[in-house]
Amino acid sequence: MTSPLSNMDEVSPAPATPEPEDQIRGLSQGRIVFKRFMDHRGAVVGIIVFLLVLILAVSSIGLGPIPGWWKYSYKDTPDIMNGGHPTLQWLPFHLGEHPFGQDRVGRDMFAMTMRGAQISIMIMIIVGVVAAAVGILIGACSGFFRGKTEAILMRFTDMIIIIPSLIAAAVIAKSSQQLGGVWFLAVFLGLVSWTGMARLVRGDFLTLREREFVDAARLAGASNRRIIFKHILPNAIGVITVNTTLLMSSAILTETALSYVGLGVQPPDISLGKLISDNQAAFSTRPWLFWWPGLFIVIICLCVNFIGDGLRDAFDPRQKKFRLKKDKGDQRVAPAPLESPVDDALHGSSGATEPGLP
C-alpha cells in the first residue's frame, strides 16, 4: 500500500507500517475504500435502510412548501377514529387511515413521526457538518503549526470539553424561538461537539507534517494553506469520515435526550425525542404513540452506526491484517498508539448516550 492509507495508524510514537503492495496495486484510495465498504454487509444494509427512511420521511409529508403523498399534515387535527388505534396492517399490507394511530387531540401520528424523523435527520447532518468543520480547522491548525498555536487551541478544546452541553442547550432552548428554532439548536450543538474531532485531526496532523511529501510540497513553494488543505487533509480523510459518522449517531441521541428533558426542540417544532417525551405518560393507554417514534430513532441511529463501522473497516488498514491471517500474509502490526484513530473514534462516541456533563 502506498503512503496515503498506511499512515493512519501511526498517529503517535508508532513507526510506519509497511503493507504488502501486491494486494491492492493499481487501485486509487477511493476505489479501495469503496470496495471494502461494499464488502461490509452491515454497512450496505445500513445505508440502504437509511436512504429508505429518508425517502419515506421526505416524500410522505413533503418538505417545506412541497406537498407529499400523505393526506394529513403533522399540524392537522382530524377527528379521532377508533380510539386513535393504529390502522397499519402488514399482511396484506394496508396503511389505512392512520397507520401509526392518533394522539390525544387526533393528530396523525404517521405524519408527526415523519416530521420528527425529518427534523432529527436534519439536526444530525447539521451537527455533523458544523462539528466536523470546526474540529478539522482547530485540529489542523494546532497539529500543523505546533508551538503556541497548538498550546492555545488545545487548552481551548479542553475548556470546551468541560462545559456541559446541557448548559449550552438550555441557553438555546430558552432563546431559540427568536433565533430560528431547530437550525440554531443544531448549529449550536455542533459548536460544542467538535472537541473529539479536533483531537483526532491534530493527532493525525502531528505525524503527517513530518512526512516527506510535506517537505516536497514546501520545497516546491506551496503555502501553508495549500499544504494543509491540499496535501495533508486528504491523507487524514479516513479518521475524519469515521469520526463524523460517529458524531452524527451521537448527535441524534443527544438531540432526542435534550428534547426529552425539555431543553431541545421547542414547540411548535417536533422531533422524535420530543414525541416520545410528550407521550410517555400515555404509555399504558396509547403505547403506539411511544413505540413508533422510538423505533425510528433506533433505526436511524443503528443505520448510521453500521455505516460508521463499515467506513472504519474500509479506511483502517489494520482491520485488514486480521483477514490476512487466513491467507498467511504479513501480520506485522504497529504497537498500540496512544491516540489511535480507531480507538479514539470509538471512545469519542462512548459518552454519546448521556449528553451533558463531561
Partner 1 sequence: MLSYIVRRLVASLFILLGASFIVYLLIAYSGDPLAEIRSSNSPSKDQQIATRTAMLDLDVPPVLRYFVWLGGAVKCVVPFAGQCDLGVTLQNQPVTAALSTAIPATLQLLTAATLLAIIFGVAIGVVTALRQYSTLDYAVTFISFLFFSLPVFWVAVLLKEYGAIGFNNFLASATIPPGVIVVLSLLSGLVWAVVISGTWRRRSITFATAAAATALVLIFLSATKWFQTPSLGPVVIAVTGVAMAYGSTVLFAGLRNRRALYSALICVGVGVIAYFVLQPLLPDMGFWALVGLLVVALAIAWAIGHFMGGYDRSQSIRSAMLTTFGVSLLIVIDQFMQNWQAYSQNPLVRGRPIPTIGSKIPGLDGDFWITGLDTMTHLILPTISIILISLASYTRYSRASMLEVMGQDYVRTARAKGLSERVVVTRHAFRNALIPLATIVAFDIGGMIGGAVITENVFSFQGMGQLFLTGIKNIDPNPVMGVAIVTGITAVVFNLLADLAYSALDPRVRVKA
Residues contributing to the site for partner 1 (CB under 8 A): 12-13, 42, 155, 158-164, 166-168, 170-171, 174-175, 249, 253, 256-257, 260-263, 273, 276-277, 280, 283-284, 290, 294, 297-298, 301-302, 305-306, 309, 318, 321-322, 325, 331-333, 335-336, 338, 340, 342-343, 346-347, 349-358
Question: Contact at 8 Å (CB) between 355 and 257?
Answer: yes
How near is the Cβ of 165 to partner 1 at its closest, in Å? 10
- What cell does 262 get? 425539555
Minimum CB distance to partner 1 smaller for 86 or for 273: 273
How near is the Cβ of 326 to partner 1 at its closest, in Å? 9
How near is the Cβ of 16 to partner 1 at its closest, in Å? 15
* CA 189/CA 77 separation, integer angstroms: 32
How near is the Cβ of 309 to partner 1 at its closest, in Å? 7
How near is the Cβ of 351 to partner 1 at its closest, in Å? 7
| 350 CB-near residues (< 8 Å, 6+ apart) | none
How near is the Cβ of 300 to partner 1 at its closest, in Å? 8
How near is the Cβ of 258 to partner 1 at its closest, in Å? 9
How near is the Cβ of 327 to partner 1 at its closest, in Å? 14
What number of CA atoms fall less than 13 Å from residue 104's CA on the CB side? 9
Minimum CB distance to partner 1 smaller for 232 or for 307: 307
* CA 41/CA 32 separation, integer angstroms: 16
* CA 264/CA 120 separation, integer angstroms: 11
- What cell does 264 get? 431541545
Minimum CB distance to partner 1 smaller for 86 or for 264: 264
Minimum CB distance to partner 1 smaller for 182 or for 342: 342
Minimum CB distance to partner 1 smaller for 49 or for 222: 49
Question: Contact at 8 Å (CB) between 77 and 107?
Answer: yes
* CA 51/CA 70 separation, integer angstroms: 19
Minimum CB distance to partner 1 smaller for 14 or for 81: 14
How near is the Cβ of 214 to partner 1 at its closest, in Å? 23
Question: Contact at 8 Å (CB) between 56 and 114?
Answer: yes
* CA 241/CA 305 separation, integer angstroms: 12
Minimum CB distance to partner 1 smaller for 229 or for 322: 322
Helix (H, G, I), strand (E, B) or coil at 78: coil
Backbone angles phi, psi at 9, to 5 degrees: -100, 20
Minimum CB distance to partner 1 smaller for 144 or for 188: 188
What are all long-range contacts of 208-216, with beta carbons under 8 Å and residues at least 24 apart? 208/7, 208/143, 208/232, 208/235, 208/236, 209/143, 209/144, 211/3, 211/7, 213/3
Minimum CB distance to partner 1 smaller for 88 or for 324: 324
Measure Cα distances from 189 to 13, 132, 134, 179 in Å: 33, 12, 12, 14
- What cell does 87 get? 390502522
How near is the Cβ of 319 to partner 1 at its closest, in Å? 9
> Which residue from 231, 251, 232, 238 is spatially nearest to 341, judged by alpha carbons?
238
**In whole angstroms, what separates CA 315 from the centre of its chain?**
16
* CA 293/CA 279 separation, integer angstroms: 10
Minimum CB distance to partner 1 smaller for 215 or for 354: 354
